Structure 1
Amino acid sequence: MSAIKKIGILGGTFDPPHVGHLKLATHFAKLLRLDALLLIPSGEPWQKGACITSAEMRFRLTEAAGIDLARAFLYLKISTQVGIDRIEVDRAGPSYAIDTVKALRERFGADASLTWLMGADSLVALPSWNSWEKLSQYVNFAVATRPHHDLKEQISSEVGQFLQEHQTKDAAALEKCAAGLIYIDESLNVDLSSTELRDRLKSSSRSAIASEQIPTHTLEIITNLGLYQ
């Protein structure tokens, strides 16, 4: 066992959480040999506009997805513990990642390896995040590429510079480093768009789409409450 705790952080609106989120979580939990993985639904996602599901309902849906994720870890013999964290739901005001990573660093201590997991879309959009350039003081980043997208063509000069300063080709380096590294994984292509999924849930093929793309326990709540219709 490593003396350094290895914590993965998967934040998002989770409106709703879907199979893409679970694939990303599973891949990096195994690759980075995480001790724990926190799913953190945003409380007030300031970049998403007003038409979003309530924070408490999204937290409930994420808790349900966490059950399926924990079962997948058990089946795959991945020892990572799964936690659903209320840190952003319970914090008043806009949900800024910088506030979250500061609080998590305080919680887990200076030596813990904290790694923020994200899809390539989030990396491209990073300069729109509040105080984004300070995030690497508190966490590492692990990024999954998106299918059929050339990341180099999409990133801004700011992100390009950020990668030059922080990128590592060695995933194992994140285990040994508390913060400041970014690893881009090209072996996993995952699409993390909940927006498209919500639109498809309103279509006539709702049931077929849902069962393929939404975790079982999350889907049960969505179906029982008639959400996203």
Structure 2
Amino acid sequence: MTTTSSPVTGWPNLTSLPLDEPKKIGILGGTFDPPHLGHLKLATHFAKALQLDVLLLIPSGEPWQKESDITPAEIRFQLTEAAGIDLARVFLYLKIPTQIGIDRIELDRAGPSYTIDTAKALRERFGPHASLTWLMGADSLLNLPSWNSWDQLLNYVNFAVASRPHHELSAQMNPEIEALLAKHQSIDANTLEKSPFGLIYLDNSLSVDLSSTRLRNQLKSSARGTIASEHIPSHALEIITNLGLYK
């Protein structure tokens, strides 16, 4: 397994996990440019709701759908590691036993970062019986048809989708997503544990209205200090401040 084990942050070496039995693994991918409290809230919610054994945070290497001025991958990886420290503290406080891994799988793979390639690689890594669930907001589900080989993803993973303000699924859904939900939607989160892949669980109990793009723009304003402290995990904010990012 290629999940990082950092001497600085003390991440557990997930290669030591016994993989001879099905595991419940959540995957939260993204540019994490920067990681924000919305990411942590979504991760915490699904770690608890799905009773995940492992949560992988996967910063993208070359996000092919994003603008060209994205922060370099290694810095975004550092920011994600730092945010993971705060997430681990939240899990400890809430007594959530989920292990956290910060994974380099997309950074170490050459070329554009396609989710389908990551899903295939993780399925191969964890085997055919592990429940792999890709965590996302409703905006990502609505944009799914723009992803590379999007219609193949459910052959490798489940989806757990959290509602987002201003992204009402019923009002904005295109026929392709309607058909996907008609075939794959499950109304019970517990079914994901029993299914390695192929299900979509919609969760309307969490509403997170934060985006990295909007946050980057806000950080360029005169209210930078207040905005940063309200929306960015403390350890990631320390790196952002030291490196003078997002000015």
- Aligned twin of 1:88: 106
Separation of aligned partners in 1, 2:131 and 2:38: 24
- Aligned twin of 2:234: 216
- Aligned twin of 1:165: 183
- Aligned twin of 1:194: 212
Q: Is the 8 A contact 1:140 1:182 kept in 2?
A: yes
Q: Is the 8 A contact 2:139 2:167 kept in 1?
A: no
TM, length-normalised to structure 1: 0.98
- Aligned twin of 1:71: 89
**Aligned amino acid, residue 139 of structure 1:** V
Higher mean C-alpha deviation, range 148-157 or range 177-186? 148-157
Runs of 4+ residues deviating >3 angstroms = none
TM, length-normalised to structure 2: 0.91
Higher mean C-alpha deviation, range 186-195 or range 174-183? 186-195
The number of residue pairs the alignment matches comes to 227
Equivalent residue for 2:125, pick from 107, 110, 129: 107
SS at match of 2:241: helix
Deviation at 1:4, TM superposition (A): 2.0
Unaligned runs of 5+ in 1: none
- 1:120-199 pair list within 5 angstroms: 120-199=138-217
- Aligned twin of 2:38: 20
Q: Is the 8 A contact 2:47 2:55 kept in 1?
A: yes
Separation of aligned partners in 2, 1:212 and 1:175: 34
Q: Provide Cα deviations, 1:100-157, integer angstroms capped at 9, x if missing partner.
A: 0000000000000000000011000000000000000000000000124321111110
Unaligned runs of 5+ in 2: 1-20
Separation of aligned partners in 1, 2:66 and 2:130: 31
Q: Is the 8 A contact 1:119 1:192 kept in 2?
A: no
**Aligned amino acid, residue 145 of structure 1:** S
Identity percentage of aligned residues: 74
SS at match of 2:161: strand
